[in-house]
Amino acid sequence: MKKEKFIEESQKRMQKCLEVFEKKYAEYSKHNGNTDDDYFYAFKSIGNLLKENPEKVAFMYMMKHFQSFIDIIYHNHDVSEEVFDEKVGDLINYILIINGIKKEQYAKLKNISYNNSTNNTDDIPLTC
């Protein structure tokens, strides 16, 4: 695949990921009547119940999708292109969710609020 085609396909993939985030917003953030505008509410809530941090909860959810991906790649499970694309998207989305949770934590350490979209958080490190 040529570079231009790879970039084009990657941009399409990321656009699909963003569309899934929009669809999942209500499920992740406003569960059971919660009015808090926190995209990671579900992961934090489950984390509290399980006494785990929210990024670990998201990672556990991701592992289910990763196992499916392993079955496709290593065990030659034939799936349609649509199903394969969905599995790739699931993994990307969970990586982005974990990234978002960690970015929020780093911002709190620096006393930056993610509730204000004008904050520049590009300098927040992604590693612990």
Instruction: Give 84-98 pLDDT, tens digit per residue.
Output: 999 999 999 999 999
Q: Domain for residue 123, yes or no?
A: no
pLDDT at 128: 40
Length of the chain: 128
Where in the sequence is the domain holding 42, given as residue range(s)? 3-109
> DSSP for 30-41?
SGGG-----TTH
- pTM assigned to the model: 0.77
- Which region holds residue 77: left if phi is over 0, alpha if psi is between -120 and 50, else beta? beta
Q: Domain for residue 24, yes or no?
A: yes
How many domains does the chain contain in total? Answer: 1
- Which region holds residue 7: left if phi is over 0, alpha if psi is between -120 and 50, else beta? alpha
Q: Domain for residue 119, yes or no?
A: no
In the chain, count of helices (H) and strands (E)? 4, 0
Q: Domain for residue 59, yes or no?
A: yes
Q: Domain for residue 122, yes or no?
A: no
Report pLDDT digits (tens) over 50-91.
Answer: 999 999 999 999 999 999 999 999 987 888 999 999 999 999
